[in-house]
């Protein structure tokens, strides 16, 4: 499949209480070059872990991560650096990811200096160019993070990623901490940058509404597994999995009068003791006896549309 720029099979574990919790379990996911893949689920479902695995910040405990057809964990030297710089991560809280003691010009220039990617004399011009690409003027160069508003700080985080000319951005809840009015501006910035640079995005959010307008495809994750994946338009028109349907019911719809809010019943279970069978069964309004016993596989239910639910098999 030559059209696949990235293909991952990640089984990532993090130790808790000396036991291993598989935050992401047997996820097999291919992200195509130039695509925006929205990854959606409640907090704690493993989205961030998956994002960190893709960005090379967290090795998969089993399975493999391929970047441009190469095994990412086997890359060394210049090839490893090209991968690490080529896949940039944008975090939810830009405040926490920016060094409070550095000025913006230092924050932006750091990676170029550390890796010797640019003659020092050229760094200031590159800083100004990155600032202008994210819609900030050169006045921001000398500021410290605390002198900048939340939305502008996220622009700085994006400018820092741009400095190393990435091709792929993993955006982990990049607008969740921002006011709703600012969220749209930052999402538009991501889309503008995609048009200019042809970026590929893995766009992680707990909110289906946020990924709606930017994603080509949407993957829904529950307790470390992808339960549904399809074209974004298909997910919004014909959601198949009961969990996806419940998430959709929480997206405010302007065409409905007021806000319909149907909360998903119950808490997300602990990944230490996941429910048997379909892990969504304790919360599913359609659960059947088989759901407690067997985990449903991801079935192809329509062209490009996969869903893991026993309802598709009865």
Closest distance of CB 311 from ligand SF4, Å: 5
- Out of ligand SF4, Mg ion, none, which partner does residue 40 contact, by CB within 5 to 8 A per kind? none
Residue nearest to Mg ion (CB): 48
Report phi then psi at 10, rounded to 5. Answer: -115, 135
Alpha-helical runs (H) found in 134-179: 150-162
Quick one: what does residue 309 bind among ligand SF4, Mg ion, none, with the CB cut-off 5 to 8 Å set by partner type? Answer: ligand SF4
The one segment of 74-82, 152-160, 181-189, 280-288 that binds ligand SF4 by CB under 6 A: 280-288
CA angle 309, 313, 314 (to 5 degrees): 115
Locate 304 and state its tokens. Answer: 């490009």
Q: Judged by CB under 6 A, which stretch of 3-11, 48-56, 79-87, 278-286 contacts ligand SF4?
A: 278-286
Question: For residues 116-155, which are near ligand SF4 according to CB under 6 A?
Answer: none
Residue 23 touches ligand SF4, criterion: CB under 6 A: no
Residue 278 is a binding residue for ligand SF4 (CB under 6 A):
yes
User: By CB under 6 A, is residue 286 in contact with ligand SF4?
Assistant: yes
Q: Which of 60, 284, 301, 306 forms a contact with ligand SF4 (CB under 6 A)?
A: 284
Phi, psi dihedral angles at 53 (to 5 degrees):
-65, -45
Minimum distance of ligand SF4 from residue 301's CB (angstroms): 12
Calpha distance 148→107 (Å, rounded): 13
Please report whether residue 242 would count as binding ligand SF4 according to CB under 6 A: yes
Tell me which of ligand SF4, Mg ion, none is bound by residue 291, counting a contact when its beta carbon lies within the kind-specific cut-off of 5 to 8 angstroms. ligand SF4
φ/ψ (deg, to 5) at 178? -105, 155
Distance, CA of 286 to CA of 164 (rounded, Å): 48
Residue number with CB closer to ligand SF4 (47 or 281): 281
Rank residues 30 and 290 by Cβ distance to ligand SF4 and give the closer one.
290
CA 90 to chain centre: 9
Q: Are 51 and 23 in contact (CB under 8 A)?
A: no
- Judge residue 42's burial from the number of C-beta atoms within 10 Å of its C-beta, 0-12 exposed, 13-18 middle, 19 or more buried: middle
Residue 40's DSSP bridge partners are 205, 220
Establish if 310 lies at the interface with ligand SF4 (CB under 6 A): yes
As measured in angstroms, the least distance from the Cβ of 44 to Mg ion is: 8
Which of ligand SF4, Mg ion, none does 48 bind, CB closer than 5 to 8 A by kind? Mg ion
Given the structure tokens 């230092």, which residue do they identify?
106
- Paired tokens of 141: 């160069």
Instruction: Give yes or no for residue 224 binding ligand SF4 (CB under 6 A).
Output: no
| Nearest Cα residue to 296 out of 222, 202, 236, 211 | 222
Interface with ligand SF4 (CB under 6 A)? 241-242, 278, 280-281, 284, 286-288, 291, 296, 309-311
Q: Which residues bind Mg ion (CB under 5 A)?
A: 48
């Amino acid at each position: 499949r030559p059209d696949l720029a990235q293909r991952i099979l990640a089984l990532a574990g993090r130790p808790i209480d000396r036991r291993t919790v598989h935050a992401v379990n047997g996820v097999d996911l291919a992200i195509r070059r130039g695509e925006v893949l929205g990854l959606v689920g409640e907090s704690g479902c493993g989205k961030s872990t998956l994002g960190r695995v893709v960005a090379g910040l967290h090795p998969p405990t089993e399975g493999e991560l391929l970047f441009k057809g190469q095994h990412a964990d086997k890359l060394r030297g210049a090839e490893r650096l090209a991968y690490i710089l080529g896949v940039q991560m944008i975090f939810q809280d830009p405040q926490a990811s920016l060094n409070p003691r550095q000025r913006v010009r230092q924050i932006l220039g750091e990676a170029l200096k550390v890796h010797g990617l640019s003659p020092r004399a050229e760094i200031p011009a590159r800083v100004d160019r990155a600032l202008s690409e994210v819609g900030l003027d050169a006045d921001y160069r000398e500021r410290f993070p605390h002198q900048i508003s939340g939305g502008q700080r996220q622009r700085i985080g994006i400018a820092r990623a741009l400095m190393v000319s990435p091709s792929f951005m993993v955006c982990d809840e990049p607008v969740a901490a921002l006011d709703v009015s600012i969220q749209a501006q930052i999402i538009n910035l991501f889309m503008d940058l995609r048009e200019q640079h042809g970026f590929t995005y893995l766009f992680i959010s707990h909110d289906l509404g946020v990924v709606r307008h930017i994603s080509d495809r949407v993957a829904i994750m529950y307790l470390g597994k992808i339960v549904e994946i399809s074209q974004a338009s298909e997910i919004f028109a014909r959601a198949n999995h009961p969990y996806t349907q419940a998430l959709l019911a929480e997206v405010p719809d302007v065409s409905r009068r007021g806000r319909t809010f149907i909360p998903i019943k119950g808490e997300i279970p602990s990944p230490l003791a996941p429910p048997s069978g379909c892990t969504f069964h304790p919360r599913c309004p359609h659960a059947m006896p088989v759901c407690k016993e067997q985990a449903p596989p991801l079935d192809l239910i329509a062209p490009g549309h996969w869903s893991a639910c026993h309802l598709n098999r009865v």
